[in-house]
Amino acid sequence: MTQASPDTATISLPIGSDADLAWVRQRVRQTAAELGFGLVQQTKLVTAASELARNTLVHGGGGRLEITALAAGPNRGLRLTFLDTGPGIRDLQQAMTDGFTTGGGLGLGLSGAKRLVNEFCLDSRPGAGTTVTIAAWASGAPSPRSGAG
């Protein structure tokens, strides 16, 4: 996963209610626009963020989002880290399979979010919570270190 520059501040937002989900979407769109993301890129990033924030709330019992602007030379990006201390994911491979769901949805949340961003990393252990980190780059610029986990 790409590193933020040392002078970059990280914004932390709580995810504990449906109202927080709306605030997450708004803040991600605003930050992406400020960094020069086009409308389509903003929409993809907000869609991924919305799915992951909802998972944090519904499956993780709530948590937080950390938003960090990225810079790699002239490239500008955005890293979003969703953290919870919920029950964790027992089978990561199964959870990343299209169509798998534990919540009655379409089962496209994690795998769909991964397809919408340049970088994706999922870390979860049963009983220890889940952390999902994604990154996207403005103007379709490839990430300096593209290594989705």
Q: Which fold has domain 12-140?
A: Heat Shock Protein 90 (3.30.565)
Query: From CA 113, how far away is CA 107, in angstroms rounded?
Result: 11
Which residues neighbour 75 within 8 Å (Cβ) at sequence distance 6 or greater? 137, 138, 139, 141, 143, 144
- pLDDT tens for 49-100 read 999 999 999 999 999 999 999 998 889 999 999 999 999 988 777 777 755 5
**Are 148 and 114 spatial neighbours (Cβ–Cβ below 8 Å)?**
yes
Quote the tokens at residue 70.
Answer: 């990225």
**Are 45 and 32 spatial neighbours (Cβ–Cβ below 8 Å)?**
yes
Which residues neighbour 94 within 8 Å (Cβ) at sequence distance 6 or greater? 100
**pTM, entire model:** 0.84
Could you tell me the residue ranges of all domains in the chain? 12-140
- pLDDT tens for 12-50 read 999 999 999 999 999 999 999 999 999 999 999 999 999
